[in-house]
Structure 1
Amino acid sequence: MRKLINNSTMVRMNKFILLMLFLPGLYPCSNAQEIRKIVLPVLYQDIPLSNGLIGGEEVNDAGAIFNISIAEITVMLPASEEPTSCIIMFPGGAYKFVNIIEAGFRGAEIFNKAGIAVVVVKYRLPNGNGLVPLEDGTQVIRMVRRMAKEWNINPNKIGIYGSSAGGHLASMLSVHWKPANPASINEWEHYSSRPDFVILVKPVINTAGSGSMKNFAGENPSADKLHFANSLNFISKDCAPAFIVHATNDKAAPVQGSISYYLKLIENGVPAEMHIFGEGGHGGIGFKNKKNPEDEWVNLLLRWKYLY
């Protein structure tokens, strides 16, 4: 069952509140977990693209969110004397919904315990216009980089994580990033949107006929749209190091896409590490921790040198 959330009832922050968020030491804090948590909308200087979705958001019993037209981030900061790494998480959901609990907050808890800051992104759904979530992802990376000092984050260790369709989005952000432009009148563009590392978990890559791609690019996308939506076409030596996880028996997002992404990185001299598990399918590779062999990927990631 889905519950309707009317966007008109959502809190809209005024300039004073936003200013307060940019000052240190003023964030809500959970002493039990020693985690500072901040929830705020994705901020834009100019009017962002529209995905054409109207009405309120809907949430099902599993916490998956549908009909998203306003992007939001949840920042989770562990207590640390030194600046920490940061993982920006893009949960999956076939670009039809955002599976924010299963593929977002559960992982955030694990990363926080390892001393890593986390930003979980509730990105706008494309509704056929893939530039919309891509715009959100680009902006979130810039926001985190701008706020790095206040949030005690190492500005050179800001990476992205994506699973399933969120993995497609992360792969797109890994190749379509924007360099810093200090001369721009748009203050956000003073900050680069290039991630420092990329984590792809069962990503949807090079699957033109899939439901995810139809939701991303539309029912009958042009050849140019499909070319743009395939991150394999844009991998270069300037891409960030990547950690990739997939299952051989994944029917929803074939492992061949991840293998191709990995090989393209290697061809371009980009550091990459890939782990392929024989079992797990699509749903088994995640944060379930059922003590199956494929659950070991989390420990492998936490030992990855580019994470810290």
Structure 2
Amino acid sequence: MKSVLLSIMVLSMSSNVFSQQQEVIHLWPGKVPGEREAKQVAPATPDTSRGVIRLTDVTDPVLQVYKPAVRRSDAAVVVCPGGGYNILAINLEGEEVAKWLNGLGYTVFVLQYRVPKKPAGALQDVQRAIRLVRSRAAQWKITPSKVGVMGFSAGGSLSARVSTQYDKPTYTPVDAADQLSCRPAFAALIYPAYLDNGTNRTITPDLKVDTNTPPMFLFATADDPYANSALVMAGALRDAKVPVQQHLYDTGGHGYGLRPGNPAAEVWPGLMAKWLGQIIPTIK
């Protein structure tokens, strides 16, 4: 009975998540590049374990806009939820994170990128998302040069990819927004995955880290099976002399978001908030 009640509560939360949004931005006004399926509102899977809403079959990528009640910064963050490139943990690593960042005074855009198993489409989506946010910066009173990205697990992989492949053309330009850069001003990778797919668990070959890679905040735990991803990325950033702050906590596992009760979830938000306060003033 408890599991049934939880499922009902989560599904109710799911409908509220979308009804309460001030604005939803569709990334692609016409055909979605490389997408064969018709555009649709992404459905939630029946799996509501741990109170997580899992979206799947994203064929019409969107940005959900979260405006802070009190704007304390002219910076903005595009948030990429995780889910193994199969689903999007849209409340755990999207809505809840957006509301936390809103509380710090930041404008936030939660990205529903294409899943399942569409990493190439996901990169197109995040590139387009950053450009769109920059093109409409005046609307939200943000500075175009201060649009960063943040991701969890597979969303951390996607954030790393756009941070190192921002100069890679992945789609035919749609409008004037696509003339803008999609290089994030900064990136935060929380328990990122898939960054160590190189030989002997070295950095994934298509992650080309150089002096133009944006500064990064990395957080993982020693008991996370994907923890090596953060380690190899930190090493690559250090070698390229890119500002990087890395934290490896002892316990916490993977996929905890910022929900209370997990030791890692109770640590990283304070560390990242401090880092944002330090790094954003340095961005011109």
CA distance, structure 1, for counterparts of residue 92 and residue 177 of structure 2 = 31
Match of 2:102 among 112, 119, 133: 112
CA distance, structure 1, for counterparts of residue 56 and residue 264 of structure 2 = 32
| Per-residue deviation, 1:37 | 2.4
What SS does structure 1 have at the residue aligned with 2:147? strand
Hey, what does 1:96 align to over in structure 2?
Answer: 86
What SS does structure 1 have at the residue aligned with 2:22? strand
CA distance, structure 2, for counterparts of residue 49 and residue 162 of structure 1 = 23
CA distance, structure 1, for counterparts of residue 164 and residue 241 of structure 2 = 15
8 Å CA contact retained: 1:92, 1:99: yes
Match of 2:249 among 277, 282, 288: 277
Distance 1:258 1:45, change over 3 A: same
Hey, what does 2:261 align to over in structure 1?
Answer: 290
Distance 1:289 1:94, change over 3 A: same
Letter in 2 for 1:296: V
Hey, what does 1:250 align to over in structure 2?
Answer: 224
The number of equivalent residue pairs is 254
Match of 2:211 among 237, 242, 246: 237
Higher strand share: 1
User: Does 2:231 match 1:259?
Assistant: yes
8 Å CA contact retained: 2:80, 2:94: yes
Higher helix share: 2
| Per-residue deviation, 1:49 | 1.9
C-alpha deviations, 1:127-152, integer Å up to 9, x for none? 3x421000000000000000111111
Letter in 1 for 2:233: Y
Distance 1:69 1:162, change over 3 A: same
Distance 1:188 1:49, change over 3 A: farther
User: Does 2:123 match 1:143?
Assistant: no
CA distance, structure 2, for counterparts of residue 297 and residue 306 of structure 1 = 16
What SS does structure 2 have at the residue aligned with 1:88? strand
What SS does structure 2 have at the residue aligned with 1:78? coil
What SS does structure 2 have at the residue aligned with 1:120? strand
Q: Which runs of 5+ in 1 are unaligned?
A: 4-29, 31-35, 210-222
Distance 1:80 1:294, change over 3 A: closer
Match of 2:23 among 18, 22, 38: 38
CA distance, structure 2, for counterparts of residue 133 and residue 179 of structure 1 = 14
| Per-residue deviation, 1:300 | 0.8
- Which TM-score applies when normalising by structure 1? 0.73
8 Å CA contact retained: 1:108, 1:118: yes
Match of 2:66 among 69, 76, 90: 76
Distance 1:240 1:55, change over 3 A: closer
8 Å CA contact retained: 2:75, 2:106: yes
Q: Which runs of 5+ in 2 are unaligned?
A: 9-19
Hey, what does 1:12 align to over in structure 2?
Answer: none
CA distance, structure 1, for counterparts of residue 174 and residue 124 of structure 2 = 18
- Which TM-score applies when normalising by structure 2? 0.79
CA distance, structure 1, for counterparts of residue 263 and residue 69 of structure 2 = 31
CA distance, structure 2, for counterparts of residue 109 and residue 150 of structure 1 = 20
- Aligned-pair RMSD on alpha carbons? 3.2
Match of 1:190 among 167, 179, 184: 179
Distance 1:137 1:231, change over 3 A: farther
Identical-pair percentage = 24
Match of 1:64 among 46, 49, 54: 54
| Per-residue deviation, 1:89 | 0.3
C-alpha deviations, 1:58-107, integer Å up to 9, x for none? 31333210111110111111245776211100000111111110111111
What SS does structure 1 have at the residue aligned with 2:121? helix
CA distance, structure 2, for counterparts of residue 172 and residue 101 of structure 1 = 23
C-alpha deviations, 1:136-186, integer Å up to 9, x for none? 000000000001111111212110000001111111010010389xxx784
User: Does 2:148 match 1:159?
Assistant: yes
Letter in 2 for 1:152: K
What SS does structure 2 have at the residue aligned with 1:262? helix
Distance 1:54 1:152, change over 3 A: closer
